[in-house]
Amino acid sequence: MEDGNRVLEIGTGTGYSTGLMCHRLGDELVTSMEVDPEVSGRAGTALGACGYFPELVVGDGLAGQKDSAPYDRVIATCGVMELPHTWLEQTKPGGIVLATLCGWLYSSALARLTVDADSVARGRLLGGQVSFMLARPQLPPALGILPDLESGEERAARIGTDVLDDWTARFVAQLAVPRTQRLSLSGSDGTEHVLIDVEAGAWAALAQHGKEWTVRQGGPVRLWDAVEDHLLRWRADGAPALDRFEVLVTPEAQRINWPKV
């Protein structure tokens, strides 16, 4: 952050990070958005008590705040599945967007992206285990009634779900199936590790038998096939760390790739 930067923050919360930016830049250069009116109100009171009066906006931060744009920096302190293009349109060419990219397997990484004159953003993940609550409109749907996990096709699994205990491997798996949620079901036969994409109506249920795993899958897409393919390709590429991953966000799509090491 540099002197004179105009900044948009998404997720005012307590107002703590808003206060730091007011201290650094001057409150006339700070806009902060919060979806929860009560939370925003409390932050406004706390900031006022410190002598800071930034622009506090109540609303869905995914829409940004056009009236005060363009910004030199957009900083999200709630996580997003996909970076909203509005943020890029409201950032000056050469400006920076800092946001945590998440999925519903709950691995996440902070991305630092530079925006060009065409509102395309490029950059890297910063590594580490950074996590924030997801932005409200992007929270996962309720699981509802579970599908019949006895149906579907069964095969030997190439990889077990224990791989998802690793933060980076989970992030890679999540790139393959970002809208998939995970749960465990304990029964008399042991534990079933279930992945479900509610919107797609797809599921995978894995069970461990000694050192081996089996997977049963149902629905229009094979979730665990996609996870295995992605993880095996990442391993074959040398299992690069998250801070090697490259991010590209265009008006059409968000791409996250890793290089071979």
Ligand X SMILES: C[S@@+](CC[C@H](N)C(=O)[O-])C[C@H]1O[C@@H](n2cnc3c(N)ncnc32)[C@H](O)[C@@H]1O
Contact between 35 and ligand X (CB under 6 A)? yes
Q: How far is the CB of 133 from ligand X (least distance, A)?
A: 5
Contact between 229 and ligand X (CB under 6 A)? no
Only one of the segments 9-17, 44-52, 192-200, 224-232 lies at the binding site for ligand X (rule: CB under 6 A); that segment is 9-17
Taking the least distance from each CB to ligand X, the nearer of 11 and 44 is 11
Q: How big is the site for ligand X, counted in residues (CB under 6 A)?
A: 21
What is the distance between the alpha carbons of residues 47 and 168, in angstroms, rounded to a whole number? 37
Q: In three state form, how does the secondary structure of 136-186 look?
A: HHHCCCCCCCCCCCCCCEEEECCCCHHHHHCHHHHHHHHHHCCCCEEEEEE
Neighbours of 261 (CB within 10 A): 9
Taking the least distance from each CB to ligand X, the nearer of 46 and 239 is 46
What is the distance between the alpha carbons of residues 147 and 26, in angstroms, rounded to a whole number? 54
* Residue 195 CA, distance from chain mean position: 18
Taking the least distance from each CB to ligand X, the nearer of 23 and 136 is 136
Contact between 14 and ligand X (CB under 6 A)? yes
Q: Tokens in use for 59?
A: 């609303």
Contact between 185 and ligand X (CB under 6 A)? no
Based on DSSP, count helices (H) and strands (E) in the chain, helices before strands: 5, 14
Q: How far is the CB of 43 from ligand X (least distance, A)?
A: 7
Q: How far is the CB of 237 from ligand X (least distance, A)?
A: 33
> How, if at all, do strands 212-218 and 190-197 pair?
unpaired
Give residues 52-111 in contact with ligand X (rule: CB under 6 A).
Answer: 60-62, 77-78
Residues contributing to the site for ligand X (CB under 6 A):
10-11, 13-14, 16-17, 33-36, 39, 60-62, 77-78, 132-133, 135-137
